[in-house]
Structures are given as C-alpha cells and as structure tokens.
Chain A
C-alpha cells in the first residue's frame, strides 16, 4: 500500500438551481497514493469532473455548495484553505490539464511566452531553484517541450497556439503542468478531443512522464480503454456516488458492481465481432430528489429493498472495493 498523497473524504456537493438543489456528489471517498495513477471513470452526470475540480477549488461556489467533507492533501484540508494558500498549491503541487487545449491557451501570445510565464510563476516557491532570468526560463521551456516530444521545440516555441495542431497544443499544456514539478497531475478528459492515433501518442507521453517524475496522476474520462492504457487503478462513479474502486486487472477481469458490468458489456470490442451490445435500461436519476440509497437502483436487475440504504464500500481482496449489497451477497458464493 503506497503512502497516501490525496484523500477525498465524504464529499457532499450540491448545486443551487432554479428548480431546487441538485445533489450532485454524494459521500464521495477517493484516495490516491504517491506515484499512483488512478482513473475516475463514469458517464455524463456522474460528477467525476466536479470531483476533480473540487480538489483545486475550481468550482464556483455559489451556485455550488460543499455541504460536508474534506479533501486532504499532504495532511492539509484543501477545502479550508484561503484563496492565497490555494494559489500556492495550484501549479506547483497539484497541476491540471483539460479537455480542449485551445480554450486553455491564450491566442494572443506565443506558446513560448505563456510557458515562460508559467515557469516563472510556479518557481517562486522556496523549495525549488529560481531561474534567474527569462532566458533561463526559456531554456527550461525548451527542455520541457522536448520531454513532451514536441517536434522542433526551439522553433515551435515561437509559434502561436492556432499554428499548432490539437495534439501539439495538448503537449504544450502538459509541459505547462509539469513546469512546477507537481506531486499530482489531474487530467480531465485529456484526449477526448483528439484523433485516435494522436490520443495514443499523448497517453504514451503521460505514462512515460509519470514514471520518470514519480508523480501521481488522476485521469478523468468516460473511456475505459484510456484508463486501461494509463492507470493502475480505476474508480467507477455513477450519479455522484463511487460504486467501485479496484485495480485495472480486477475491474476488467472481475467487475463486481452491476453498473461496471453493464458498462463493460455496452462497449463494442474492437478485438472481436459481437452479436449484441448490452443495453442498460433506463436513465440517470433525478438529482433534485435522488433515491435515498444506491442511485443505480432503478436500472439494476438485482435491485432489492435493502438498496434503499446506501451500501457502504466493502473490501473484496486487497485491491477491490465495491458499494453494492448484491455483490456482497454473491461474492461470498
């Protein structure tokens, strides 16, 4: 068991809307160890993106409201930090990259300027060496671009974002994220907007960099394949609840939660021709008035009276936790 770096404890988050309060996150518990790569998987509305953004305090509050819970990073509660304290954490200890690189790069400045700005901003911390000048920072920028395998970094560094392709922009963002030598990298759907061959390149880069720097990585995605490529562990969320948390091997070979099972059977397998895809009936529950216990209840073929009470996460084997009454009964079979 690795030393723990981040722990999200009993996070409850609401969203105030015209129609009422949406109970978006319900008792979310996630732990990430040092140097560990974890994927948070789920579909639209499961709350995975909000969970990630909560870590860095990027959720506007109002309309969001954190009702309870803690986010412990290196034993300090991030939710209780002031904005100034959070600014010291962002970029240097925890860095984040997002889905659409173009909206996260300023079109008016060259990528070199932007990268240098980030480097200088991030390295104002005591425990890192300060680059003395912009030119030193620029050299570092070129080195970072090399590490993310941007071709011709000395020339590309003077280009503007619109002159780069999607894959190249995402690399620039990764370089920016790495510039502060973060302990934790959060990637929110980093490859969803990219082509398949480019996606493969970017995933490979993230994986190599993670090993080299020993950082922890949290990947937010709806694509189980991406998680399989990149992560040691997967956490499956549904409608704001964490339903399963297991090693990659376990998730794919022995999924225990009915939602995880349904999801795996709904994905067409490129490796073999399939007869029929499994369709999970029904839709997301209404988050204004969610069911009291397990939120997957209405769509679950094994649902029962006891599902009205929220199933606690139980361990099955060292690497596998599930929040489900049914699996608790059947796994002992």
Chain B
C-alpha cells in the first residue's frame, strides 16, 4: 500500500484536469463558439496592450490637429481621422480598454448584488423571498435602457454615473437565475445530508449551494459582458455616458453620425468594434452554455 505523505498537485487535481480537457474538446468542436472565443481574446489583448502600441497616443485624449481633420483611411491613419484630426484607429483601440473596464464593473456589481439576493431568496424563502422577488420584478418590468437613462438623468452625465445606472439595471437578472437554481439544489439529498451532519446554514450556502450555481452564472456573465458594452455604448451615444474627449465607442458614434454619409469611416470603425465585441461575447456565451449543459456532458 502506497502511503504517500503528500499527493502531488497533479494527483489531487487529476479529476478537474480531466474535466477541463473534456470541456475543451467539446467546446472546440463548436465552430461559432471558437469564433466567439477568438473575438473575445482579441478584445482582451487589445485592451491589455493596445494603448502601448498605438501610433498616435496623444490623440486618445483629444489633442487637436485641425490640419488633419476628417481624412479618409490611408496607410498612415488606417481608420482615418475625426473632426479634430485625431487618429480614429488609436481612439478605437484605446476605447477597447475603456469598454472592458465598463463591462467588468457593471457585470461585477450586478453579480455582487444579484447573487447574494438570489441565494437568500431561494434559501430562506417565506416573506424574504417574496420581498426580494417582488422588488426584482419591479426592476425587471421597466425597460433597462430607459431606467438607465432616468438614473443618469438624475445623477448627471458621465462614465461613472452611466456604470452605476447600468449596474442597477442588471442585477435583477442574476437574482432570478440564482434563486431558481437555489430552489432546485435545496431539494437535493446532499443538502439534507449536510444538515444532518450538523452544517450551519452559512456552510450550506457557501459550500453546498453556491458552488453548484457557478455554471449558470458564468454563462450569464459572458453574455452580459457583451450586452453591458452595448448598453454603455448606447448611453454614450445618447450623450449620457462617456463625455468627449473620452475615446468611448458610443460617444464617438454620437458625434460621428453628424458626419454621415460623406465621412463614413468615422462611424464605421467604432460601430464595427462594438459589433464584433458584442458578437464575440454572445457566441462565447452560447458556446459555454452548450458545453456546460449537462446533456452534453456524457
């Protein structure tokens, strides 16, 4: 009998590694999911190193070069220039990081608010559940963007307020998702088993319920990232989010639409950036859902 004192890291995690391998293989068979993954990785990479490699870094802050204004795309300015002569390529690339930050913060706050509420509602039940779910229903019945506009309207335009507004619009979705999953898990025998060995309610929530909720949460997060970017771009477009000279894609389109159709490149490239990013996250989310869906697990 081998009485090893310390199991190697590999031994301890062999099951997990095998599961990851299985998921990767299933995922990689899905063409659109791989495309989504590619787009998202491109997005992340651009956000990470983009600002360091752009050709005209000062243009990101809106330095004015009137002599270069509204030039069509050429070998120097790949995406052309805008109405103050700034290189659109630079601004779109730097805007990637802005978009990523916004998306992460919005989704992060939504998860931090929504998940605990959802678990509490599902686990405690009774009037607590009623209260939480009814409040959630109220928020869900108001169209998201309208609510965001209203909140920003009250707080004043700006990136921070836009993020705040969108977070408040996003958290109800997580409450619903997590609450229903919690209810399902609550009826499993292993919860009874945990109670009967003396686990505190705290322990049951964190060790038994929460880890089993992660799959649906991950899927929703990846899809939400795309929608959050779209949402903040919409607010930016309405002039309620990022304010110029901030290189945010929506804000850019807000100004550039005045220059259509003659100076088409000014609208096209930020628009394309939004489109590809949102598409990427959506495809990734779909692919994750197909992979993590228990039916495919066999």
Query: Which of A's residues lie within 8 Å of B, judged by CB?
Result: 17-18
Interface size class on chain B is under 10
B25 is an interface residue with CB less than 8 A from chain A:
yes
Name 4 interchain pairs, CB-CB below 8 A, sorted by A: A17-B298, A18-B22, A18-B25, A18-B26
For the complex of A and B, the 4 pairs showing the least CB-CB separation, nearest first, are A18-B22, A18-B25, A17-B298, A18-B26
Chain B contacts to A: CB under 8 angstroms: 22, 25-26, 298
Least CB separation from A15: chain B residue: B298
Chain B interface secondary structure, helix, strand, loop or mixed? helix
The interface residues of chain B lying within 8 Å CB-to-CB of A18 are: 22, 25-26
B69 CB, min distance to chain A CBs, angstroms: 58
Measured between alpha carbons, how far is A88 from B118 in the docked complex, in Å?
A: 50
Chain B residues near A17 (CB-CB < 8 A)? 298
A193 to chain B, nearest CB (A): 17
Roughly how many angstroms separate A126 CA and B26 CA in the complex, as a whole number?
48
Cα–Cα, bound, A77→B67 (Å): 83
A17 to B22, CA, bound (A): 11
CB proximity of B12 to chain A, nearest CB, Å:
22
User: Which residues of chain A are within 8 angstroms of B26 by Cβ–Cβ distance?
Assistant: 18
Q: Smallest Cβ distance from A18 to chain B, in angstroms?
A: 6
A212 to chain B, nearest CB (A): 41
Contacts of B25 in A (CB 8 A): 18
Query: B268 to nearest A CB, angstroms?
Result: 43
Residue of A nearest to B26 (CB): A18
CB distance from A21 to the nearest CB of B (A): 14
* A18 to chain B: closest residue by CB: B22
In the complex, chain A residues whose CB is within 8 Å of the CB of B298: 17
A18, B25: Cα distance in complex, Å:
8
| Cα of A65 to Cα of B25 in the assembled complex, Å | 21
A24 CB, nearest partner CB in chain B, Å: 13
Q: Which residue of A lies closest to B22 (CB)?
A: A18
Distance between Cα atoms of A18 and B29 in the complex (Å): 12
Bound Cα distance from A18 to B298, whole angstroms: 8
Q: How far is the CB of A63 from chain B (nearest CB, A)?
A: 8
**Bound CA span A17–B298, Å:** 7
